[in-house]
Structure 1
């Protein structure tokens, strides 16, 4: 049984820790609103560019844009893992890193060479420790990402995917989507080649819907195929759309992850604060029980000593 001094020291230690976790919870709660507003502000543009590209890409001339091509053999893959720079966010980072590592193993088992782009110190440290040197690194900006980061990464992706030899064949982005202030969901988005899945479907905002305009775009026995006009020309339009799509895919993932990070940290710190309160209550009960036992022992000794003197 620990003595009173040890128990009191543990209570003070847990109380100090609780003050820290409570403060971090309040800071994260204050940052959630700003980061969520940035993510929600970027979502309409991300959806618009993605939907526009999905609807026009199948009808663009095949040679109008190299980034539109689907490579027959998958020999080289890029996985972009988006994590935070700081910890104390529960399983926020480990979820992304486990999913990215699982994807890497899957592609390597299929015979592809996999490269990693690490966004956030946790991803950089995780892959570096395992002997994987990221081809691209971002650190120190996970809580407040900038558009320049996404432009820089997409400028690396575009020429590598369009290269004549040893080109990238697939590009994936793995990140946590801030479903709400209290919940984050893992997203594994295929950026290249372009997926037919819209942002609304990827993020779970809406269920996949039937394309009611398909009959007007595709030739059938009853209707001729629809046509799309490009101004000034298909090459310029599709290149502009593809670059905006790449910038957007990375930028939205960074913004969405930043919002999810604050929510995950607030949840983790709230749980830590609640656990600290419960531990303090338990230790206080133990302290009172030990103190009462010590008092009872002292009273018994006094009464016994007095009785012995009377005899």
Structure 2
């Protein structure tokens, strides 16, 4: 091998190892969990961080967050829900916030099991209202289709599962192994930072949400989990699940942001085709961050 060939081979090895080196420098989940608020449940797939809010013995509302922003996304909405007389359970999906980041494909069944485990851990054996935001909308849809007897009502906030656009890197890496993994770990953090910074000046009911979101990029297992979800629960449309929900006559409310560039408003028509009984509301001027940028309007639209 020539000197140039050897140098190129070393450079290639170094580039290939760069994502692993970056990941090793990120914070370990157990170190983050030490200072976490709320409580932890040892579930079948890993340790899950959760919090209760509101009066005891009140009807239970479970809030499920999205792809990249953990349960703190609900901090602005939860006071509205508790003031309306609900007891709210919020938790971090695996690989986000303070929950563990187990390996494996993060499919709808994977997240359905986490939610089912948590409800069992907390002794909740009566039907609950589920509120799902973005990917959380896809998760609660999967749960309701699998366990219709455990769901009283379904509230979907800019829900995934009917078409979405998470950017060119996510589109490419979803279907390409190895090279896709490398490109995702190298390029997606920059794309996510740019999206967060673009919204930093927007009004928010969650104090410091941009910095809280950016901090996720410093936790080990986050990027792997996001990519796994893109290849899992977000991979295919949920037409069959929505039709099952309609057949089970579970009341559904869906709320959309008119200016949402991630989950386009055209998904409203798709949901109408799949479930003609769903009540749908559109918030003018709202983008994908409507849970924290238009919290008051969202609370009124949900009417829980």
- Fold match by TM threshold 0.5: no
**TM-score, structure 1 length as denominator?**
0.26
Q: Which has the higher strand share?
A: 2
Q: Which structure would you say has the larger Rg? A: 1
Greater RCO structure (CA 8 Å; 6+ sep) = 1
Q: Looking at secondary structure, tell me which structure has more helix per residue.
A: 1
